[in-house]
Structure 1
């Protein structure tokens, strides 16, 4: 029993280490199975393809650390993207106005989630499942599911920061989605490790009652966490429209479990107070590798959904078992708050 608890506690404390080892092993196996997998063009394409999901995962990570959960972020991204696209394509408004409006809508929808959770006292997962349905269904009802194809050039033109050609003749480009992901990761890392707000979010997620007793503004932290996720979701939605050159109402819908699994795979606990930005990024990398590798090998996409489900089950089980072991080791006086 002691060996089991030690193993579980190690997984909880250093998820990045074992996750990196799994990534290296998976990369080796997939490169042996498919020669095109471990090539620079394929790796860079993976980074660009999964930048949108990674940015949403970083926002979700902040909410998970605070002790909450949000399932509505993909719907939030879709609404923010479509409104900004309509303003740009139909009203011809300038870039700053369209982008600013999209980001503000994302923040507003995130704050609405926080208000329902804090003031109405609805459980976060129930509240955000409900708002996910409302946001997405309202978008589809109003738009009729019609896509916007005539986005202006300032939105759809490819932005390349660096370009090189490999010996095989393939072009490798560092584009806006990759740079945006790096900026989002740095911003989130600074927030969670170098700011007072980040420390308070960890404290609140670890023990809400203790955080309240030492004077942390629980309402303020909840509004900040869900507002931050709304901002990141909107940014991801705008970036998705830039990548594909159009705004499709349901393009991001259905990514919720993949993003959630990346966050928990990287060590973010569904009970709050645990997780790191590098862990989330490694979680995204592993899922991207697995999906890309399975596609190259011709394996059915449904198998990847099995992987996502198993990731959530295993990660949640490790969290629950670790917490149970910690409670068993607590002194009687501490457990009774004596």
Structure 2
């Protein structure tokens, strides 16, 4: 137990908070704590989790990006128009186009940050406005409804009717999300590139002196986020069965809050896929519970703001200091022995 607390303090705390939150929301509404609602939350959260694991890589490298949701909107439009031009295409072609376009947009951010030496948040605020403004200017805000049949048809891997007449189902976005989480986890924890990203985010100057290719770290991190944004954009079009230019606008703060809440440090060098997923689910569960209770959506925005503030505070505070004194002493003894 002691080792688990030492190795996964943020993840365990998030899990405990999520359980307590679920119990509290179940008291507020009897529609919350059901299997059908749990699957609904998972299906709805899939796109945000794909965003989050991409953003996690950027945060680990010490950067920050708030343009990924708008980039995904651009990917949606470009991909669907390209598919219609090609006569419809298929899933393989769709993933290739979406991934390449998304990665290209991510590499633009990397170029601005590395070559032009622009601070990452400033660069991505700029591309956020450029991408969104260009998208709305070119499309005039018109949505696309005539998607290729394979993209518009819901792909359900598992479905089951419950005794109360409700349905539970496992959709394609959830399966793709799981694959993205596995790929990201493997990349950051099992490859040399991943270890270099942690080292670069934790100490950029030290990493430079150690011989780590700084340019590669920028292009890998922002390129990976661009790839995830492209995949998320395609999954959003599949889930909604339409392409709306501003459908993903505004998600960047929700995802950022959830990712930092999950343990990714804004200063870089820290973060895990598990914590990232738990952070997104905690935010999604909060939103779902408040909606079922009939609470105004503006209240949720206030909560997201509070989450960002709390996450920033926790990211600069040793987590064991927030534990009870008995556990603090246990953790210190364990660290001393190791």
Moved more, 115-124 or 89-98: 89-98
> 3-state SS of the aligned residue for 1:50?
helix
8 A Cα contact 2:73 2:248, kept in partner: yes
Partner of 2:258: 262
Alignment pair present for 1:42 and 2:37: yes
Partner of 1:20: 15
The answer for the alignment partner of 2:155 in structure 1 is 159
- In structure 2, the gaps of 5 or more residues are 322-338
Q: Cα–Cα, structure 1 residues 312 and 11, in superposed 2: closer, same or farther, change >3 Å?
A: farther
**Structure 1 partner of 2:285:** 289
1:32 aligns with 2:27: yes
Aligned to 2:333: none
Q: Give TM-score scaled by structure 2 length.
A: 0.90
1:242 to 238, 242, 248: 238
In structure 2, C-alpha distance between the alignment counterparts of 1:245 and 1:108, rounded to whole Å:
25
How many residue pairs align between the two structures? 315
2-structure distance, mates of 1:319, 1:128: 22
Q: C-alpha separation between the residues in 2 aligned to 1:91 and 1:182?
A: 29
**TM-score with structure 1 length normalisation?**
0.90
Question: Which whole-Å CA distance do the structure 2 matches of 1:248 and 1:154 have between them?
Answer: 18
Offset at 1:322? 4.3
1:166 Cα shift?
Answer: 1.6
Residue of structure 1 equivalent to 2:271: 275
Superposed, 1:1-338 pairs within 5 Å as: 14-95=9-90, 96-322=92-318
Cα distance, 1:165 vs structure 2: 1.9
The CA deviation at 1:321 is 4.2
Q: CA deviation at 1:101?
A: 1.9
CA contact (8 A) 1:12 1:319 kept: no
Query: Alpha-carbon deviation of 1:13?
Result: 6.4
CA contact (8 A) 1:12 1:267 kept: no
Residues 260 and 315, structure 2, Cα contact 8 Å, conserved in 1: no
1:89, distance to aligned residue in structure 2 (A): 3.3
1:60 positional shift: 0.2
SS in 1 for 2:316: helix
Partner Cα distance (1:89, 1:158) in 2: 19
Displacement of 1:318 after TM fit? 2.2
Once residues 26 and 315 of structure 1 are traced to their aligned partners in structure 2, the CA distance between those partners, rounded to angstroms, is: 17
